[in-house]
Structure 1
Amino acid sequence: MNQTIDLLQNHRSIRKFKDQSLSKEQIKTIVKAAQSASTSSYYQAYTIIGITDSQLKAKLRQVSGQQYVEDNGHLFVFCADLNRMYQSQPEEIQEKMKDNIENTEFFMMSAIDGALAAQNAAIASESMGLGICYIGSLRNDINRVNDLLNLPQYVIPLFGMVVGIPDEDPDVKPRFDFDAIYHENQYGYQHEHVERFDQTTKQYYVDRSFNTKQDSWSQQVGRKLSNPIRMDVTDFVKNKGLNKR
């Protein structure tokens, strides 16, 4: 196994950082690595916003409810961005573009582009000895985040990513067995894979070095999804002109 594979398979989410900001050179390196990710048809349909204003960080932390959104080395917000392509064209071309810009395919494409860029940023950060954590909880109030970041039509915030020097050393969380995730030629769900993974996660939570508890993967999923979550996101996305067709 080479160093890259080892790095990937030892990923942990870091939620506690030392009080040291990333340098401009570190930020630039991370963003340029993100830009090197694959992108559909060379569209590069995403934007990355770095949050350096302390008051803005505090407001985003209020949306998230997570203190590490404020206390980190740097906060990135990854956005799906179809506005750049739209604004690059004269009005007569813009009108012709709308059927594409506003459909589900391009919504998915821009979200995928943003996610691919973010994963490159994560790997680059960890290769530099930094820790990262994705922040999906910025969508707890997606309209508020939209207003705080002054996002135009055809741009939506996907998630944040905090990066910094780790001030904790959490255990690596287990993942499903290979056969539960990889199927040949057709889909093949088998409940035995979930049952086996539930036993693995139960033991993980008992044995881990902090915050031990009695829980399993399927119990977590059932508990979290039994109540509606972020039901405002659908209308928000459509009001931004995306996923309408």
Structure 2
Amino acid sequence: MNEVISTLLNHRSIRHFQDKPLTEEQVKTIVACAQSASTSSFIQAYSIIGVTEKEKKQKLAEIARGQAYVANNGHFFVFCADLHRHELIGRMENKDVLPSIESTEKFMAALIDAALAAQNAAIAAESMGLGICYIGGIRNNLDEVKKLLKTPDRVIPLFGMAVGYPEKITDQKPRLPFAHIYHENEYEQDEARFLNQLEEYNQITSSYYDKRTGGARKDRWTEQIGEMLEKKSRMYMKDFVQKNKLDLH
């Protein structure tokens, strides 16, 4: 097993960081690795905002409902879908790009570009001995995030990434079994088989939580996800995206 595969297979979210900032060289390396990710048709429809001001990090932590590691880390990155620069390109080249920019297809391309860049950044950081944690909680109030980060129309802050030197390393959460994720040639639709796999996975996750918490939790995965999905969350998102002149067609 090579070092890249070892790094990937050893991923886990880190939520406790040392009080030690990343160096400028580390930040530049992580961003350069993010930019080396594949991008749809070379469109590069994303931007990364590094947040270093304590007040802004604290505000983002509050928006994320008190996640302390949003404020306390070595560096905080915010990954954005960004088609603002492409609107400017249209003006530069005297091309009618707005129908394309405002399409669902280009919005999806921007989302995918940002996700690919972020995962490259995560792998780069972990290969340097750093820990990372993705932060979707900034989407709890994107109006406030946009004000805080001063993002223009056609730019959507998607998620944050806390990066830093691990203070505490937690156990790795078990993932769904290979056979439940990987389909060959066509989507497996044997429902009974699916349900059996989920029941087996429930036993694995329940044992994981039981061991990790000393018996305080014994969550089954389907129970946990079912309860999460039953609660409506961030239902304003479609209106917010369209208000920012994306995904209109």
Structures share a fold, TM > 0.5?
yes
Query: Quick check: 170-179 or 212-221, which moved more?
Result: 212-221
Tell me how far 1:192 sits from its aligned partner: 1.5
Q: Separation in 2 of the partners of 1:210 and 1:87?
A: 56
Q: Separation in 2 of the partners of 1:227 and 1:203?
A: 25
Cα distance change of structure 1 residues 90 and 22 upon mapping to structure 2, 3 Å threshold: same
What residue number does 1:126 align with?
A: 126
Report SS of the residue matched to 1:89. Answer: helix
Q: Separation in 2 of the partners of 1:185 and 1:164?
A: 41
Structure 1 consecutive aligned stretches of length 4 or more whose deviation exceeds 3 Å: 91-94, 209-212
- One-letter code of the match for 2:80? C
What residue number does 2:198 align with?
A: 194
What residue number does 1:215 align with?
A: 219
8 A Cα contact 2:90 2:97, kept in partner: no
Report how many residues are paired. 244
What residue number does 2:140 align with?
A: 140
What residue number does 1:102 align with?
A: 102
What residue number does 1:13 align with?
A: 13
Tell me how far 1:214 sits from its aligned partner: 1.4
Tell me how far 1:150 sits from its aligned partner: 1.0
Tell me how far 1:194 sits from its aligned partner: 1.1
- One-letter code of the match for 2:219? D
Q: Separation in 2 of the partners of 1:115 and 1:132?
A: 15
- One-letter code of the match for 2:123? I
Q: Separation in 2 of the partners of 1:108 and 1:211?
A: 42
Cα distance change of structure 1 residues 187 and 134 upon mapping to structure 2, 3 Å threshold: same
Normalising by structure 1, what TM-score? Answer: 0.96
Cα distance change of structure 1 residues 91 and 219 upon mapping to structure 2, 3 Å threshold: same
Task: Please give the per-residue CA displacement for 1:122-177, whole angstroms capped at 9, x wherever unaligned.
Answer: 00000000000000000011111111111111110010000000000100110111
8 A Cα contact 1:38 1:113, kept in partner: yes
Tell me how far 1:92 sits from its aligned partner: 7.7
What residue number does 1:3 align with?
A: 3
What residue number does 1:83 align with?
A: 84
Tell me how far 1:68 sits from its aligned partner: 0.6
- One-letter code of the match for 1:78? F
Normalising by structure 2, what TM-score? Answer: 0.94
Task: Please give the per-residue CA displacement for 1:44-71, whole angstroms capped at 9, x wherever unaligned.
Answer: 1100000011111111111012111000
Q: Separation in 2 of the partners of 1:197 and 1:93?
A: 55
Report SS of the residue matched to 1:184. Answer: coil
8 A Cα contact 2:14 2:133, kept in partner: yes
Q: Separation in 2 of the partners of 1:211 and 1:86?
A: 54
8 A Cα contact 1:170 1:209, kept in partner: no
Q: Which runs of 5 or more residues in structure 1 are unaligned?
A: none
Q: Separation in 2 of the partners of 1:84 and 1:211?
A: 52
Report SS of the residue matched to 1:90. Answer: helix
Q: Which runs of 5 or more residues in structure 2 are unaligned?
A: none
- One-letter code of the match for 1:88? I
Q: Separation in 1 of the partners of 2:100 and 2:23?
A: 39
What residue number does 1:72 align with?
A: 73
